[in-house]
Homo-oligomer: A and B are copies of this chain.
Amino acid sequence: MNHQIVLKAYPEGVPEPSHFATAQADVPEPGEGEFLSRTLYISLDPYVRGVITGKHMYEERVTPGDVIIGRTVSQVVSSKHPGFAAGDIVVNENGWQEFGVSNGKGVRKLDPRIAPVSTAVGILGMPGLTAYAGMTFLAKPKPGETVVVSAAAGPVGSMVGQIAKIHGCRVVGIAGSDEKCQMVTDHLGFDACINYKTEDLREALVEACPDRIDIYFDNVAGDTLTAVMTRLALGARIILCGMITQYNITGAPPPGPNLGPIVGARASMLGLVVYDYNDRWDEFASQAAEWFAAGKLKYKEDIAEGLAVAPEAFCRLMRGENFGKALVHVADPS
């Protein structure tokens, strides 16, 4: 018999156990090119919440009666797949049930001598790769930099911080209880950890990050992200990864720019301050002169006549009523 957990009803807001139900089915038979595996560990991950309501980017929506999806560590029971043999330990997607059949696609075999097999869905699994990819390919930590990570006690956050320590960074975690914070500092070896539920996050960040924040690995979005943004160092990198504060929101989205699309589009948002490019004046001037001479640069000016009308012209600019570059003509060259 294959015991299962299925969706009973779509949750509104934070899910409760009553949204789920138990079910049972016959243990399935693997077909040609498939294998049957027994679930050893089910990985519980926040993204599953998104899948249930069809908001996650790739996976199908779970409908009532369906087995809840999820990554699992499993052991092959019987196989008609040339790549997998009975006894193999794998990471696959049995979901919330005791047995599942797989065609091998996306399945990774584990070497149980490397680490306890449960870590294959934790620090050595997708959460670990998430941390590794974000730090290695996007954030690129340098020794001595300050790295802040939210959900620091979770598998992504704990891996982010430890990778940052390996790179010689100062690492500050943010977590939701004193016990979690103590684990983060004492067990994981972070330099500090802030309990965002009991401390003033902005003040605590000032204290914990005297040299400001070079890298923020964001797993939560919302107010935590907003607070961290008040303490950025020059050239800071923010990795937008998770948005757990928004997964359970129903109805209207929170006000202000929703940064979710930045994640979906793998986009980058870059701050520009022109003063940083003062050493590029010559390059720009000669390039722009060439374009101008070639007739490639048009322009429109909105010229107010005489110094006395400068205030009115400026106020028109502030109201968006100017039409082209706003100028005040004061005198002609002699």
Contacts and interface: CB of A to CB of B under 8 A. Distances in A.
Contact of A238 (B89, B155, B241, B269): B269
A19 B318 contact: no
Contacts of A14: 315, 318-319
A26 interface: no
B159 A297 contact: yes
A329 to B, nearest CB: 6
Interface in A222-244: 225-226, 229-230, 232-241, 244
Contacts of A192: none
Given A133-B277, A288-B123, A292-B115, A272 B307 contact: no
A126 interface: yes
Nearest to A138: B270
Interface in A131-145: 132-134, 137-139
B292 A183 contact: no
Main secondary structure of the interface of A (DSSP, over half): mixed
30 contacts: A5-B311, A40-B331, A41-B303, A41-B327, A42-B310, A44-B304, A72-B330, A96-B307, A115-B289, A121-B327, A122-B325, A124-B285, A129-B277, A132-B277, A132-B280, A132-B287, A133-B272, A133-B284, A137-B277, A158-B300, A162-B291, A183-B324, A225-B257, A226-B256, A235-B267, A238-B267, A240-B269, A257-B257, A257-B259, A268-B269
A308 B22 contact: yes
Contacts of A159: 297
A327 B42 CA distance: 6
A153 B229 contact: no
Contact of A284 (B129, B244, B298): B129
Interface in A263-277: 263-277
A277 to B, nearest CB: 4
A178 B268 CA distance: 31
B68 A265 contact: no
Contact of A299 (B39, B98, B158): B158
A311 to B, nearest CB: 4
B180 A323 contact: yes
A161 to B, nearest CB: 10
Nearest to A217: B272
A153 B183 contact: no
Given A14-B319, A17-B315, A311-B17, A271 B41 contact: no
